[in-house]
Amino acid sequence: MAQVFPFRAFRYNPSRVAFDRVLTQPYDKISPAMQERYYAANPHNLIVVEKGRSHSTDTPQNNVYTRAAAALSDWIGNGILRQDPVPAFYAYSQEYTLPGTDERRKRRGFIGAGQLEDYSARVVFRHEQTLSGPKADRLELLRHTQAHTGQLFMLYSDPQRRVDEILAEAESAPPDTELCDEYGVIHRLWIVSRPHRISEIQHAMADQKLVIADGHHRYETALAYRNECRARAGKIDPDAPFERVMMTFINTHSKGLTILPTHRVAAHIDEFSWSAVRRHLEPWFTTEEFPFSSDAKKAEARRKVLACLHCAGPKRAIGVYPAANSQKRAFYVLTLREGINLAQLLPNVSPLQRELDVVLLHEGILEPALGITPQAVTAEAHLTYEREAAAALDAVDSGRAQISFLLNPCGVEQVMKIATAGEVLPQKSTDFYPKLLSGITMYCVATSP
């Protein structure tokens, strides 16, 4: 099944740079403001590689991709980046505060080189669709740099926690890398290079199926690059470095694994009427109302709605905040009526996906009651997405949206079941928190791993 290998990572040299000045969030989470901040932090910041600036004067000989490759080469030549002397796995922990709370959590995993597998081999599974634009960008970057600087976030399921025990042992020593990122997440890395520990990790992972949590575009980019290299070589060498890609492996049975909800905000809906939506949904959902008449009472009503969602348990509940009319300001909670035949409500959805609140929202509310089709969702014609409930509600208050929907997060076991069944979830269904830092280790496909 899953084949994982130690590798000689390139890592920033702490005697030359401070880790918190050069490592970045994943490329697809970097806003223009973050990009500028990273550029200002240090001339060796990974932003130059991970998401460099484009210029109007760029040419085929001098562009964002050629500059990324040149930067990596220069940093290696000048000792900013150093390659570890022996192949290793890397224990990686993240200590963080659960957003919106004071609860501290710790997530533990390890970094290794995973063998690339076509989805048809049923070893690696996706849970999201991908888009051609990001893949074309990442492929061009990989062609030039011949290096993976960002992490693929892979889930596996081991109730015995065999690898976790090895990682906990590694953590008894001082970390080889430690920093606090801009979100207050403490990242720590330890080198695991003893041969018997490497063998134990490989043995424990051999019977695993891997589900991509984050990094679908980068995984498919690595597959495309592998296929290009195979075609040039005219043969398949399973030990070639491009046959593998850098991955961070997280056990679903470990503590600290968090999926945050991604709330939906809808705008530009023709002839929008919340009362008409309620009438349409009446046969399927009960509606609990939380009215308010002042900002103070609004805050109290919002707390009640979020508590209602959090305590829904097996009930299917979705929070709703429509734009106010002249008569009433209120939050609402839609709860699926008991005994509802989901096959009738969601006829085009698989039994596994009928159990997801995000699917219930898209297929049972957005499309039939608001006319927001899957095609419109893909085209981003009506929906935007917010991690924070406050931001989703503020979009309505500011007039930027007509209605917002608050969701509970998907469960990790739901994600695993759906992915390993060969199905994909709707866009923006999962938000694994925190993100894995880019540049904490780097894997070069131009040399032996």
**What pLDDT band is residue 299 in, cutting at 50, 70 and 90?**
confident
Are the beta carbons of 286 and 278 closer than 8 angstroms?
Answer: no
Which of 101-115, 277-291, 353-367, 376-390 is the least confident region?
376-390
* The predicted structure's pLDDT at residue 326: 53
Q: Phi and psi at residue 214, in whole multiples of 5°?
A: -135, 140
Instruction: Look at strands 89-97 and 104-115 and give their pairing.
Output: antiparallel
Q: Which pLDDT does position 227 carry in this prediction?
A: 97
3-state secondary structure of 81: strand
Strand pairing category for 244-251 and 147-148: unpaired
Residue 245 amino acid letter: V
Q: Is the pLDDT of residue 449 over 50?
A: no
Strand pairing class (258-260; 431-433): antiparallel
Q: Given a cut of 80, is residue 361 above it in pLDDT?
A: yes
Residue 379 confidence (pLDDT) above 90: no
pLDDT tens digits, one per residue of 200-233: 999 999 999 999 999 999 999 999 999 999 999 9
88 has a pLDDT exceeding 90: yes
Q: How confident is the model at residue 310 (pLDDT cuts 50, 70, 90)?
A: confident
The pTM for the full model equals: 0.92
Query: Is 156 a residue whose pLDDT tops 80?
Result: yes
Distance of CA 82 to the CA centre of its chain: 28
CA distance 150 to 88: 18
Q: What is the pLDDT of residue 373?
A: 84
Higher pLDDT, residue 172 or 294: 172
- In the predicted structure, residue 448 carries a pLDDT above the cut 60: no
User: What pLDDT sits at residue 327?
Assistant: 61
Asked if the peptide bond before residue 434 counts as cis, ω within 30 degrees of 0, the response is yes
Q: Is 261 helix (H, G, I), strand (E, B) or coil?
A: coil
263: nearest Cα among 97, 128, 405: 405
Given a cut of 50, whether residue 434 has pLDDT beyond it is yes
Of 173, 176, 175, 170, nearest in space to 194 by CA? 170
Question: Of 440, 366, 342, 443, which Cα lies nearest the Cα of 87?
Answer: 443
Average pLDDT of the chain to the nearest whole number: 93
374 exposure class (CB count in 10 Å sphere: 0-12, 13-18, 19+): middle
DSSP state of 237: -
The mean pLDDT value for 97-122 works out to: 95
Which carries the bigger pLDDT value, residue 429 or residue 213? Answer: 213
Q: How confident is the model at residue 69 (pLDDT cuts 50, 70, 90)?
A: very high
| Mean pLDDT for the stretch of residues 378-383 | 82
pLDDT tens track for 181-191: 999 999 999 99
The predicted pLDDT at position 100 comes to 81
Residue 387: the pLDDT is: 87
Return the DSSP state at 28.
Answer: G
